[in-house]
Amino acid sequence: MKKISIYIIFVLISTMCFICLGCESSNKDKNLYKTKIGNIIVWNIMDSKTEESTDIFKGDDKLVKETYPNGKYTSYVNFFVVKTPRSINLIDTGLGNIDMKTTLSSVGVTPDEIDSVYITHIHPETVGGLIKEDKAVFPNSKIYVSFSEDEYILGKKDDDPNKILYKKIEKIYGKKITNFRSDAEDSRNPITSIASYGHTGGHTLYRIESKNEILYILGGIFTDLNLQTKNPKISSTTDDDQERATSARQDILDLIESEEYPTKCTGTHFPFPGIAKIEKVKNGEYKYTLEQ
Ligand SMILES: [Zn+2]
């Protein structure tokens, strides 16, 4: 397996944050789901759910047709609130389709209280929620974008829509955008990053560990969990480099398999409620079970 290095991201915010557990919504809300990893609370927030064409999937037409005979699959966009004992963080921000203030109040936080936003990659479905009407939605947050993703996006042509979006975000957040190395190692903090290039050139995964429990937040590495666990070699045209994305997907499945403690995973496009256990069925084939 290709070596994937893990890097703990910085000392999390020094201020102790009051977490209003009494204000939280229940798990019954249609776009919110709460899970716990040790003493860390993670909320999956579903930003959107749409029917899309399966034409984007390449590599196993037979399986695609068998799984989705009408040529449509359900595409989800999720992002995550991660409450550690010391800080309140977001992993990505969704498209910005939902009212952020109202949604976050359902999980007991306000946009002003978000200490850090960790970005997996620069696509509209992960950074769209950072801004609204050309203003910062999270004025007090640091926005973490890996050096490699920053370089990759800024290296694109000036008319690339993702570069235009990122430059707009950079202008609005200024020095609050913090770049970090996703491929260096450390091991002190509960949120770690993993370089996993392919979906974009600097795509970054996050791993959360607390009290012998683990959660991987896999960004855009799975476009459709159903197809790509049955056959991880199925690629998607939404991957900038389909070959590299396929190899990154296989690497992460191996990494999850090798974990010593109970391990869950989730991702930008995981089907709601979005928290899954992935197990190997046989070589090259996996299955997932959603937490309910
Ligand atoms: Zn993406």
Domain membership flag for residue 38: yes
In a domain, 208, yes or no: yes
Ligand 1 centroid from CA 77, angstroms? 10
Which pLDDT does position 83 carry in this prediction?
A: 97
The tokens describing 241, both together, are 């480099």
The CATH number given to whatever domain includes residue 86 is: 3.60.15.10
CA 2 to centroid of ligand 1, rounded, Å? 22
CA of 220 to the centre of ligand 1 (A): 5
More confident residue, 15 or 250: 250
Q: Ligand 1 centroid to 23 CA: how many Å?
A: 32
The answer as to whether 218 is a domain residue is yes
Look at residue 13 in the predicted model and tell me its pLDDT.
37
Which amino acid does the sequence have at 153?
I
Ligand 1 centre to CA of 36 (Å) is 25
Per DSSP bridges, beta strands 177-180 and 142-146 are parallel
What's the gap in Å between 199 CA and the centre of ligand 1?
A: 7
Within-domain flag for 99? yes
Q: How many Cβ atoms sit within 10 Å of the Cβ of residue 16?
A: 9
> 282 in helix, strand or coil?
strand
State the average pLDDT for the chain: 90
Domains identified in the chain, total number: 1
Distances (CA, A) of 158 to 113, 153, 161, 164, 232: 34, 10, 8, 7, 33
Whole-number Å distance, alpha carbon 169 to ligand 1 midpoint, is 17
Ligand 1 center–CA 192 separation, angstroms: 20
Q: Which of 247, 259, 241 is nearest to 192 (CA)?
A: 259
Q: Give the integer Cα–Cα distance in Å for 170 and 134.
A: 11
- Domain membership flag for residue 41: yes
State the residue range of the domain holding 203: 6-290
The predicted-structure confidence for 259-282, as pLDDT tens digits, reads as follows: 999 999 999 999 999 999 999 999
**Run of H or E residues at 288:** strand 285-290
Spatial separation of the C-alpha atoms in residues 63 and 65, rounded to whole Å = 5
Over the stretch 27-66, which tens digit does the pLDDT of each residue have? 556 899 999 999 999 999 999 999 999 999 999 999 999 9
pLDDT at 280: 94
Residue 46 in any domain: the answer is yes
- pTM metric for this prediction: 0.90
- Residue 16 tokens read as 């102790």
1 found inside a domain: no
Please determine, for residue 244, whether its predicted confidence score (pLDDT) is greater than 90.
yes
